[in-house]
């Protein structure tokens, strides 16, 4: 992924997120850090094609150019297809569908892509210690278990780019360390991971490169190229 001059503005105009340069290459493990409310989650929404920016000069995925400002029905469908195929996403809250079992929640990305990977699903459930929860409904398991189920859901289709918003916030410290390593090892062989975290020490220990959000008045700048922030 390569992004240049990406910008988002809050509806009331009180906040601007500017991304001068943001590149993610195969094998990258990046951790976005910064205080609450500085735009880290918004960045993930933009990178995942879920939010509409006010402008973007360049946005490419595996060399394919994507027009983020195109709001036509056809463009929205194309972005939805890219999200399903290219990305895995772990939201801050697990966002599991309450009417589906944990097993069916996890396999949703596979259903969307019309593929099957029961062995991988089982392996992820084992590694995340939620195998005993697979037949239960989301309301019948703990917050931490729901978060781990959301992580399994984001990984089950081996995405090229995993985006995770505070994936360890609801987890015990021992589980958090395991999850940070799991996000790295279970992404596609040629994949990458971008996480948002309030625990830079944990991310650094797990081998992630820290990318700080730089606050300047009402504007936050986030870039993988330090010179772009000068």
Average pLDDT over residues 119-129: 95
Domain total of the chain: 1
Residue 228: predicted pLDDT: 59
Number of H helices, E strands in the chain: 8, 11
Residue 101 has pLDDT above 60, yes or no: yes
**Token pair recorded at residue 18:** 């500017």
Query: 103-107 contacts: CB < 8 A, separation 24 or more?
Result: 103/134, 103/135, 105/138, 105/149, 105/153, 106/134, 106/149, 106/152, 106/153, 106/156, 107/153, 107/156
Q: Which of 66, 52, 41 shows the shortest CA–CA distance to 167?
A: 41
Pairing of strands 29-33, 209-212: parallel
Q: How confident is the model at residue 114 (pLDDT cuts 50, 70, 90)?
A: very high
pLDDT of 169 above 90: no
CATH number of residue 48's parent domain = 3.40.50.300
Quick one: pLDDT band at residue 188, thresholds 50, 70, 90?
low
- Dump pLDDT digits (tens) for 10-46: 999 899 999 999 999 999 999 999 998 899 999 999 9
Domain with 97 in it: 2-229
């Amino acid at each position: 992924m390569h992004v240049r001059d990406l910008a988002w503005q809050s509806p009331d105009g009180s906040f601007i997120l500017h991304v001068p340069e943001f590149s993610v290459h195969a094998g990258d493990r990046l951790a976005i850090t910064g205080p609450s409310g500085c735009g880290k989650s918004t960045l993930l929404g933009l990178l995942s094609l879920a939010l509409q920016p006010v402008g973007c000069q360049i946005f490419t995925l595996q060399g394919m150019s994507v027009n983020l400002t195109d709001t036509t029905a056809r463009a929205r469908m194309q972005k939805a297809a890219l999200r399903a195929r290219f990305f895995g996403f772990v939201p801050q809250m697990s966002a599991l569908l309450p009417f589906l079992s944990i097993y069916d929640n996890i396999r949703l990305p596979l259903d969307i892509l019309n593929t099957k990977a029961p062995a991988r699903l089982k392996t992820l459930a084992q590694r995340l210690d939620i195998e005993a929860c697979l037949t239960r409904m989301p309301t019948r398991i703990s917050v931490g278990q729901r978060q781990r189920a959301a992580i399994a859901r984001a990984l089950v289709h081996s995405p090229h780019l995993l985006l995770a918003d505070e994936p360890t916030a609801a987890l015990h410290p021992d589980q958090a360390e395991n999850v940070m390593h799991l996000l790295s090892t279970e992404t596609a062989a040629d994949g990458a991971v971008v996480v948002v975290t309030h625990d830079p020490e944990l991310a650094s220990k797990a081998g992630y490169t820290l990318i700080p959000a730089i606050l300047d008045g009402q504007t936050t700048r986030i870039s993988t190229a330090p010179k772009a922030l000068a």
